[in-house]
Structure 1
Amino acid sequence: MLDDILLADPRALTALDTSGVLRGAATAGAQVRSAAQGAADARISDLAGSRPRALVLLRRPGTSGAAAGLLTAALGPTCPVPVVVADTVPGWVGPLDVVIAHTADADDADLADGVAFAVRRGAEVVLSAPADGPVASAGAGRVRLVEQRIPVPPGLDLPRALAVGLVVAGALELFTTPLHPALDPLADQLDAEAERNQPGHEPFMNPAKSLALRLAEHTPLLWGTDPLGTAVAAHAAAALATHAGVVAHADNVGRAATASGLVRSLDRAATGADVFHDPFDDPDGTTEAPPVRLVLLATGEDDPAQVTLRLAGRQWPSADVVHPVDEVARGVAHAGVLRAGLLASRFDVAAVYLGLATRTIEPGYRGARREES
């Protein structure tokens, strides 16, 4: 059960967060700045002027898959080169390709093998990883290594992974509008979001706490109204599972609207609960699933309600709409990327708050970790 009083007590939150998970979630802006500086030290800018045959994004356990989804959505259909997302290095990779790999696991043997293979094939490899361990050693002296400089609990390193991908794509001139090479606008937005979400702020002033309260004791339906919003939804579902043990459904609103069972659950929820229903009256010995709560995630310029009507053929007036146009105004360069980064950070912090308030995060918590063989 959610301890909502805990969310209003910053001292209690700090005392419970013995592993510093909230502090780790608040480092998003610092991670972006550190990654951008690390990319500069790795001379990523030397890639300028080259046009790869393909950009290969490796998806490994952790946040690399979310980063790949966000970068692919940010580049969009206008990207001048194919973007390939793969779990392992494709066998066809060669000297004309650029491979980006991110991991927080320095001992990922499969990734180490993939890095070594890509190097042997002559591909340009950008590796975001800890400086020590088999993964870094596999490409020692032959890859552009962006070292992990700000350690965070597992599952909270998406800003670093995304930043490295954005710097590489920017150096390759894959965006129609150039990115700031140091990613300062993104880092500034993430710093501002961390300030809003600090434990000392009451829920009505803290968007992450407010989101956590809205999602508590519900089954979240996280539906994106645009490609970047959908990519954020996928990451948000993973964050809720990792930090709060919450199962969520994430998809594009157009596809999700074809899931008739979920739509019926939404319609039932919109009619309101039976005021005479006794939640402790369970004659069949069964437990009802938590009620659904729809959250629409939007990063584009258009009104999410109108986009939902166009894609799904209907609207859900009861839905929570998360569209941070107050934080990132319409017309700002790369507004979609800035909003996506902001929303991903907000859901990370909300998931941590929810995990703390439900005691899912216990003292000594270290997030998700790979099973040892």
Structure 2
Amino acid sequence: MTHPSDYDPEAVRFFDLAHEGAQIRSVAQIVDKLAPLAGNRPRSVIIYSPDHLARKSAELAVALAGPLNTPCVIVDKLPSYTGPLDVVVALTDRGDAPELARGLITAAGRGAEIICAPPARGPLLDDLPPTAFTVPALPTVAGFSPARVIATVTAVLDVLAGPDVPVAERISELAASIDEDIVRLSPERDATINPARGVRAFVDKHQVIHTAPPAGDPEHETGARAAELIAHLWSARGMASGYVDPADLPEVLNHNVTANTKDIFHDPYLDGPEEVIPLRILVWAARETDLTEAMAISADQATRRPFGRIDAALRLVIRALAATIYDAPTGDGA
């Protein structure tokens, strides 16, 4: 019998992340059921979620999907105009979401098409409209999955683009790409081959700003969308951080220099110790950076799959999530 003390805490925390590829494959399972929607031109796609992280993940998927054929809105309350010309994509981890359930029943009653990615259990499952297309949930995973949200939104937008798009195949390849990175990010891999451990060590005992390559760089949009989502995900996991647009970085760095300038009038006996937490910057989707106290983190282009920017951004997000799982390094850190 395994004693509780024999469990590796990092491996336990890695469990949900290890299933991100499987989360994407669960989305692929419903693609064939969405065939009646293929090529439709709805008045709008309404991405409806009461969950902050789900909405932020959906923003990434929509922004990197490329030119859209249909207007798309991301909301936490169902618009009053919702009707038979609309497609509603509902996303939540809440097993009990009565307001969302009422909204979906209303939307279905008005003739809207409903696609829902609910949790594996809870009253919501029984409250969904019978006409809703439901994304299967993994029964053993409890935490929020950005991959599931991004794959669901991407699949719906691809289906609506037309019957000639091999959506199920593309979603399956996206899952394979994520699985490749998850192997590299395993707790069994040390810092020499696990990039997430390197990120965790770099930011230890520092304030953290997430940013992207500057405007004009081909990776700017990918990096910016990933960095913004990562900032929210880190903060939700207790690693407080923020996103700064590359154009605003000079002002931020100037303020940081001022804050770190030693006060010649400071008296440690009267004023107490000066405690200014140093700043480090993570530049997502960048191969290199000229910024000081910064790390460039690239989504290796050699393994990119058909989804291109979404694939790259999601792999960056997965790497960032893995960094929150690992313990801070012992000693003085990076």
TM-score (structure 1 length as normaliser): 0.75
2:194 is aligned, of 189, 202, 206, to 206
Gaps of 5+ in 1: 1-11, 275-280, 306-314, 359-373
Corresponding residue of 2:265: none
Corresponding residue of 1:48: 38
- Aligned partner letter, 2:156: V
Corresponding residue of 1:248: 241
Question: Which SS does the other structure have where 2:161 is aligned?
Answer: coil
Distance change (3 Å), C-alpha of 1:273 and 1:154: farther
- Aligned partner letter, 1:343: L
Distance apart, 1:199 and its partner CA: 1.2
Q: CA RMSD in A?
A: 3.2
- Aligned partner letter, 2:86: D
The alignment of Structure 1 onto Structure 2 pairs a total of residues equal to: 317
Is 1:319 aligned to 2:308, yes or no? Answer: no
Distance change (3 Å), C-alpha of 1:317 and 1:286: closer
1:147-162 to 2 correspondences below 5 Å: 147-155=136-144, 157-162=145-150
Is 1:22 aligned to 2:22, yes or no? Answer: no
- Aligned partner letter, 2:41: R
Distance change (3 Å), C-alpha of 1:180 and 1:147: closer
TM-score (structure 2 length as normaliser): 0.83
Corresponding residue of 2:95: 106
CA distance in 2, matches of 1:336, 1:14: 37
CA distance in 1, matches of 2:280, 2:190: 22
Corresponding residue of 2:308: 335
Distance change (3 Å), C-alpha of 1:121 and 1:285: farther
CA distance in 1, matches of 2:201, 2:329: 10
1:57 is aligned, of 22, 26, 47, to 47
- Aligned partner letter, 2:143: P
Identity among equivalent pairs (%): 25
- Aligned partner letter, 2:34: I
- Aligned partner letter, 2:205: E
- For the 8 Å contact 1:44–1:167, the answer to whether it is kept is no
Corresponding residue of 1:167: 155
- Aligned partner letter, 1:231: R
- For the 8 Å contact 1:167–1:181, the answer to whether it is kept is no
Distance change (3 Å), C-alpha of 1:29 and 1:199: same
Distance apart, 1:217 and its partner CA: 1.2
CA distance in 2, matches of 1:58, 1:26: 27
Greater relative contact order structure (CA < 8 Å, 6+ sep):
1
Is 1:126 aligned to 2:115, yes or no? Answer: yes
Distance apart, 1:168 and its partner CA: 0.9
